[in-house]
Chains A and B, each alone.
Chain A
Amino acid sequence: GDSVTQMEGPVTLSEEACLTINCTYTATGYPSLFWYVQYPGEGLQLLLKATKADDKGSNKGFEATYRKETTSFHLEKGSVQVSDSAVYFCALPSGGSNYKLTFGKGTLLTVNP
């Protein structure tokens, strides 16, 4: 079935460091791909998405490119801030539906000043 594998955490970085969180997927066809973020004490929020191969999603300085050839959707940011500390989830709709999201296990990012 459809699945998502994302980089194990936790990840600890200093402010202004570069971030990459790896995400690879297994799916039938070419589903949309998502990154969600969960800040402490809050619900998951959609961070960015890409709907087809070679699309690049971007938001708040984060980027991810839909790579069909490597079945990947890695999350990147050139300079992280303390306020980026959160749990990041890669996700895709699965099971032949466009609403039934399948998530990775989540990667905890801590950014120190």
Chain B
Amino acid sequence: NAGVMQNPRHLVRRRGQEARLRCSPMKGHSHVYWYRQLPEEGLKFMVYLQKENIIDESGMPKERFSAEFPKEGPSILRIQQVVRGDSAAYFCASSPWGDGSYEQYFGPGTRLTVT
């Protein structure tokens, strides 16, 4: 069973461009979580999605960031008009259920660098 897949693994964007990060959950998992790790900090929760629904986006910056998990295809974290402060590692995790009784399985992360 393939693990959580994230691509690209490394992404370089200039200020003002858009960044799209993709996450394919483990087979059979319908719950996806995005976390961000800024330099010198721990991972911070951003958003929790089920298929076609955003359940909790309390950790998402109010502007420029959006996330989706369509019925078909991967979950997408989209950052518009990137700024240098968006440079970070973005991790996706998935679980079969969202009640916390199951472990979250993490992908290898996407390292975004904004120049």
Contact = CB atoms under 8 A, between A and B. Distances in A.
Interface of A: 4, 32, 36, 38, 41-46, 89, 91, 93-95, 97-106
B104 to A, nearest CB: 7
Main secondary structure of the interface of B (DSSP, over half): loop
Contacts of B4: 43
Contacts of B59: 100
Contacts of B100: 32, 93, 97-99
A102 B33 contact: no
16 contacts: A32-B100, A43-B6, A43-B106, A44-B43, A45-B105, A89-B42, A91-B43, A95-B45, A97-B100, A98-B100, A99-B56, A100-B59, A101-B104, A103-B42, A104-B42, A105-B40
Most buried by B among A42, A44, A45, A98: A44
A36 B35 CA distance: 14
A109 B31 CA distance: 31
B73 interface: no
B48 interface: yes
A44 B91 contact: yes
Contacts of B91: 43-44
B33 A105 contact: no
The 9 closest A-B pairs by CB, nearest first: A98-B100, A43-B106, A103-B42, A44-B106, A103-B43, A100-B45, A105-B42, A43-B107, A43-B108
Contacts of B107: 43
Given A99-B33, A102-B45, 11 more contacts: A32-B100, A43-B4, A43-B107, A46-B104, A93-B100, A95-B58, A99-B99, A100-B56, A101-B45, A104-B42, A105-B40
B70 interface: no
B41 A105 contact: yes
A91 B3 CA distance: 21
B37 to A, nearest CB: 8
Interface string B88-115: 0001010100111101111111000000
B101 to A, nearest CB: 8
